[in-house]
Amino acid sequence: MISAAIFDLDGLMFDSEDLRHGCWVRALEDFGYEMTQAFEDASGGISRVRMLEVLREVYGADMPAERLLEYEWSLVDEVLAGDVPEKPGLRELLGWLEDHDVPRAIASSSPMRQIDACLDGTGLRERFDVVVSGTEVARSKPAPDVFLEAASRLGVEPATSLVLEDSFAGVRAGAAGGFVTVMVPDALQPDDEIRSLVAACCEDLGEVASLLEAGRL
């Protein structure tokens, strides 16, 4: 039996990755840049500090990375103030965890104000015991810091705690921290490396609940 469940947010709990991608496209265009594949590949699920580094690595050291990132965040704030769809099976899985007294946390690379917007807009805040933003830890995914911080606040050991992720960086972070890591793919399907790191790859969060019920996680 797992001792806790730690959730990513964007792309796992909420269908928000396409919305965020659109904000990045607009922000880059408004600053005179184009979205590139190199930026897309390097920018998923990372912290503010790492995002600033990636912007300068991809677009040049003299690009106004801090101003651009703040602008992109303001666009995301507007989007998240609207109706952001939940991912299938989210409430089913939360219900199973609550019924079995399994503590729950969110560990997201997003800034807290954007996590708050999602939770407050859906009324899900009270269903989580701990919420951790990537801005609160030293290293971003694929380093395990945000998951380790969530486990520490819950008072549980990584080896018996479930990490739920949709991104490659998140899966690598969960595995690096020694968590029981499960991928629920969103934008990217797992490759051989990612499959080697996970305990299971599920179609949706409802399937995670079914595996837990069957004692397979």
In this structure, what token pair is assigned to residue 47?
């912290």
Burial class (CB in 10 A: 0-12, 13-18, 19+), 181: buried
In this structure, what token pair is assigned to residue 89?
């099976």
Report the predicted TM-score, pTM, of the whole model to 2 decimal places: 0.85
pLDDT tens sequence across 87-131: 999 999 999 999 999 999 999 988 898 899 889 888 899 999 999
Provide CB contacts within 8 A for 192, sequence distance 6+: none
155 sits in the region (left: phi over 0; alpha: psi -120 to 50; else beta) called left
